[in-house]
Chains A and B, each alone.
Chain A
Amino acid sequence: MNVNTSLVIPIALSMLAVRWLRQLLNLPTRLPQINRLLDWIWVPGVALLALSVGWDSSLLDEVYQLFVFGVVLYVLVRCQDYRPARTLVLALAPFVAYSLIELLVAAFGKSLLKSYDEVFETSQGFTIIWLVSFVLIARNQKKHLERELAEREKEAAEKRRIEAENSQLERMVAERTATLTQQTQELQHALDELKTTQDQLIQSEKMASLGELTAGIAHEIQNPLNFVTNFSDVSAELVQELLEEQQRPERDPDLEAELLSDLRQNLEKIHHHGQRAASIVRGMLEHSRQSTGERQPTDVNNLADEYLRLAYHGLRAKNKAFNATITTFFDPAVGSIDAVSQDLGRVLLNLFTNAFYAVQKRQEADGAGYVPTVSVTTHRNRAGEVEIRVKDNGTGIPADVQQKIFQPFFTTKPTGEGTGLGLSLSYDIVTKGHGGTLEVESTAGVGTEFIITLPA
């Protein structure tokens, strides 16, 4: 059997070309349908081979070759968006044109071929060089595009990574913000609770100092009440005596005048002691009431005297054996100053209570021979400032403790005896509430002096 072997090589080459084309143009993804059809590129070749059995046709391979070129060009045109494909069209065009002309010349004008043999040879060489060059260019373009694509993909991946990181960061920021907001709210809540507690503590400190006062107040009220009772009783006796006197045949006008004068005096005494008790009750109520913070003209000497008595009797009611010498030096020039009287009263009460506590402690330690002494001195200095000095000869305050006494909750008293708020509240009342100063001078074992200075 005479097999036209000249077709076998083009068929094999066409399949190789198809493989190479697939790889270069990424046909499976770019044109999947055509890619599948390309598997059958050999079929027309084999068909031509079958037809040519026993038929001499040296041109068959040329025909098949052109068919393959046509297919390739068709594929390339379909892929014209892809730059290497366009380059390949350019690469193939002269070669295909040459092949077509060669075929036509071979078929219809063998003479022409002969006369222009040299030209054809040269052209063929040129087209082949052209083809190879442009194929190489196309390959480079593909590589270049692939590199670009890879870079773009890398950039995209990087961008995605950054975006992912950004969103991650944003999420973290959001989480953190939420946590912080929650913490802020919790802190705000805690702060509110603390403020409430502080108010309650201030109120309970007030009540505690009132409790210390109860016995003193009772004593201070009992005394005037005793006078009221006694003077009423004795007045009743006087009235009885006066009536009896009036019944006598010989009346004694001098005695009657004396009895009437005594009666008037007694009524004044009753009034005076009644007022005294009332003022103590008023003071007690003022002390327990929430401070209005309003400043009113306040007689400093009166205020100091009143609270000194309350503090003294308060302590003595608790400790019956306790006795102290109290000296007062009230400067009449002090007069009245604008002050929140119940607040200033609390400061004085606190200082007096502390002073009595200190002398009592020293008395317990030193025993006989020690004379507990507490003195209060008021003074208006040249600048018009009012000074109130509360001095005791008690245990004194060691230097290291002196720095802490105005701190809240600092106390040297045993648990349950002091809140540790007295002096810190006093300090606030004097400094913040009245724009004054509260200072301490003390020597351990000698005594302590607190000095309140209030601006004019």
Chain B
Amino acid sequence: MKILVVDDEPDVRTLFEQRFRREIRSGQFSFSFAYSGEEALEYLHAHPSEVVLILSDINMPGMSGLELLRHIRAEYPAPPPPQVMMITAYGDQDSHDQALRLGADDFLTKPVDFVALKAKLAAMEPHEN
């Protein structure tokens, strides 16, 4: 399963690669990283219908995570649409509601609970099959 992680913090990459090293090693998940909303869209354009899940931070300079979500929902309506999970440091209700309204599949708060995230990802896999 191909996952695109969008966050303006470069160390997120190291963190994900270590947290999911076993899954990566076994080929269960493969991760790509983008450091801004714009970069994420470019990646999606370059790799159409490869990415199954997008994990995106909301608060980023330039295009925000919510803006990215809007673009994704507008550009990739065809089934199956990629799953999008929003991550934010501000776990407020407004962002949560807005994300869901824009079509987010899930909403996570920082610091990311990787145990819970892994469980969610595992639950998603049967859908793919």
Contacts and interface: CB of A to CB of B under 8 A. Distances in A.
Interface of A: 219, 222-223, 225-227, 229-231, 233-234, 237-238, 262, 265-266, 269, 273, 312-313, 316-317, 320-321, 323-326
A269 B60 CA distance: 21
B59 A316 contact: yes
A234 B94 contact: no
B79 interface: no
Given A230-B15, A230-B111, A223 B9 contact: yes
B67 A231 contact: no
Interface of B: 9, 11, 14-15, 18-19, 59-64, 67, 89-90, 92, 94-95, 98, 110-112, 114
B61 A325 contact: yes
A226 B98 contact: no
A269 B111 contact: no
Contacts of A226: 89, 110-112
B110 A231 contact: no
A227 B67 contact: no
Given A223-B89, A323-B67, A234 B15 contact: yes
B90 A265 contact: no
Given A222-B110, A226-B110, A321 B15 contact: no
Residue among A233, A238, A323 having the largest count of chain B Cβ atoms under 10 Å: A323
A238 B19 CA distance: 9
Contacts of A262: 18
A237 to B, nearest CB: 8
Contacts of B114: 230, 233
A227 B15 contact: yes
Contact of A269 (B14, B94, B98): B14
Contacts of B90: 219, 317, 320
18 contacts: A219-B89, A219-B90, A222-B89, A223-B9, A225-B111, A226-B110, A226-B111, A229-B111, A230-B15, A230-B114, A233-B114, A234-B15, A269-B11, A269-B14, A313-B59, A323-B62, A323-B67, A325-B62
Contact of B18 (A229, A234, A317, A321): A234
Nearest to B94: A320
Contacts of A229: 111
Contacts of A323: 59-64, 67
A73 to B, nearest CB: 130
A234 B111 CA distance: 13
A238 B90 CA distance: 29
A269 B64 CA distance: 26
Residue among B60, B64, B67 having the largest count of chain A Cβ atoms under 10 Å: B64
Contacts of A313: 59
Contacts of A266: 14, 18
8 closest cross-chain pairs (CB), A and B: A226-B111, A323-B64, A234-B18, A326-B61, A325-B62, A320-B95, A230-B15, A226-B110
A234 B19 contact: yes
Nearest to A371: B62
B129 to A, nearest CB: 28
Contacts of A269: 11, 14
Contacts of B62: 323, 325-326
